[in-house]
């Protein structure tokens, strides 16, 4: 049977993404086949669609690092036809056909059951971005950081990771400082739980080894000079969870925050994250992420607009999270 998908093909100058008709025989190996019902747009999907970064490591490729779908057939013991399952990461959309398609086939070991209390659209409103924000909060918790130690900073706050991070840090009891390059989104960020807004300009310019101590915790999706500024202003024994590189992959910092203030930089990796941690993150999101705030973060988009949305997220034009229902 034929089905519709976005396909990325290699070209002489890079790659090109377009809508295509695929056949079941085009699907890659796996023990679970799903009808994809919902997907979303992450920064990485934007990089794949635009070809701006070499995230696609096999051509042709169906992008889409996240999806929710209904199991059509399965030889995996944990999944049976009719179950609803969620996929985040594992190289799907990079090395294995992903969620920008009406159908997907992959390893059941990569799937998690739809978390109790969430529907498929809400799971995609959270997506890899929201699940990564929760992995970051869990890392701060494991490190022993508490709201009593001081405020939490969120960089790239109006983006996907940032929006969920603001909401869940506020729910955890933190005084939340949101940094954004879009000051016009201040009301949006206050509604999610931000107590203070800072601008990108506050994180520009030369970084001193140590600056005035301002926060004890942080979730950073920006990297580069911004993260260097964040580290230099982190309080004694605080910790910053680094999850992204929206500004750049470099980190022009010194060891001063680490050796003179005991600051810790916690690395967050969502793609190969072990299943028990994934399930814990999803269960916590189901319990701790206010549904009104999740709705406020979310924009619905038709399948036909996915290519535009991929370009928009790389251009920093998408606010919060996007949900795409697959027809």
Per CB under 6 A, the segment of 25-33, 254-262, 297-305, 312-320 that binds ligand NDP is 312-320
CB of 247 to ligand NDP, least distance (A): 4
Stretch that binds ligand NDP, among 68-76, 142-150, 155-163, 258-266 (CB under 6 A): 155-163
Which residues are bridge partners to 8 per DSSP? 17, 61
Cβ of residue 319: shortest distance to ligand NDP, in angstroms? Answer: 7
Specify whether the CB–CB gap between 305 and 144 falls below 8 A: no
Characterize 57-68 residue by residue with b for buried, 16 or more Cβ atoms within 10 angstroms of its Cβ, and e for exposed: eeebbbbbbbbb
Would you count residue 232 as binding ligand NDP (CB under 6 A)?
no
Q: How far is the CB of 248 from ligand NDP (least distance, A)?
A: 7
Among 222, 227, 240, 266, binds ligand NDP (CB under 6 A): 222
Answer for which of 246, 263, 266, 309 binds ligand NDP (CB under 6 A) is 246
Q: Considering CB under 6 A, how many residues would be counted as binding ligand NDP?
A: 32
Q: Which two three-digit tokens encode residue 28?
A: 């890659």
Tokens of 89: 């990461």
297 binds ligand NDP (CB under 6 A): no
Q: Is residue 200 a contact point for ligand NDP (CB under 6 A)? A: yes
Distance CA 133, CA 16 (A): 30
State the CB neighbour count (10 A cutoff) for residue 1.
8
Q: Under the criterion CB under 6 A, does residue 39 sit at the interface with ligand NDP? A: no
Burial tier of 290 (Cβ tally within 10 Å: 0-12, 13-18, 19+):
middle
By the rule CB under 6 A, 43 interacts with ligand NDP: yes
CA angle, 3 as apex, 64 and 50 as ends, to 5°? 35
CB of 77 to ligand NDP, least distance (A): 28
The rounded distance, in Å, linking the Cα atoms of 164 and 320 is 8
Least separation in angstroms between CB 315 and ligand NDP: 9
**Selected binder of ligand NDP within 64, 99, 160, 238 (CB under 6 A):** 160
The residues, ordered by sequence, that sit 6+ positions from 171 with a Cβ below 8 Å of its Cβ are: 193, 288, 289, 290
For residue 302, the cross-strand partners are 325
Binding site for ligand NDP (CB under 6 A): 42-44, 128-129, 132, 156-162, 180-182, 200, 221-222, 226, 243-247, 268-271, 313, 316, 318
């Amino acid at each position: 049977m034929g089905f519709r998908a976005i396909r990325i093909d290699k070209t002489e100058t890079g790659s090109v993404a377009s809508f295509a008709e695929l056949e079941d025989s085009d699907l890659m190996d796996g023990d679970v086949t799903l009808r994809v019902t919902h997907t979303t747009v992450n920064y990485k999907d934007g990089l794949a669609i635009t070809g701006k970064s070499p995230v696609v490591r096999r051509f042709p490729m169906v992008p889409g690092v996240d999806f929710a779908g209904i199991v059509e057939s399965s030889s995996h013991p944990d999944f049976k036809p009719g179950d609803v399952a969620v996929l985040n990461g594992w190289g799907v959309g990079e090395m294995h056909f992903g969620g920008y398609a009406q159908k997907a086939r992959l390893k059941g070991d990569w799937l998690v059951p739809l978390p109790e209390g969430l529907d498929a659209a809400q799971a995609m409103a959270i997506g890899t971005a929201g699940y990564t924000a929760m992995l970051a909060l869990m890392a701060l918790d494991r490190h022993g950081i508490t709201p009593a130690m001081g405020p939490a900073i969120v960089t790239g706050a109006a983006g996907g990771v940032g929006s969920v991070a603001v909401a869940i840090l506020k729910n955890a009891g933190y005084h939340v400082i949101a940094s954004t390059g879009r000051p016009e989104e201040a009301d949006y960020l206050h509604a999610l739980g931000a107590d203070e807004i800072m601008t990108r300009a506050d994180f520009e310019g030369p970084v001193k080894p140590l600056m005035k101590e301002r926060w004890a915790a942080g979730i950073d999706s920006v990297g580069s000079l911004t993260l260097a500024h964040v580290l230099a202003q982190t309080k004694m024994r605080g910790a910053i969870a680094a999850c992204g590189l929206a500004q750049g992959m470099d980190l022009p910092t010194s060891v001063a925050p680490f050796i003179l203030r005991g600051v810790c930089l916690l690395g967050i990796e969502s793609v190969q994250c072990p299943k028990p941690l994934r399930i814990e993150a999803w269960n916590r999101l189901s319990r701790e992420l206010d549904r009104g705030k999740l709705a406020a973060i979310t924009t619905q988009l038709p399948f036909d607009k996915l290519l535009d949305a991929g370009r928009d997220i790389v251009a920093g034009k998408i606010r919060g999270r996007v949900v795409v229902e697959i027809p």
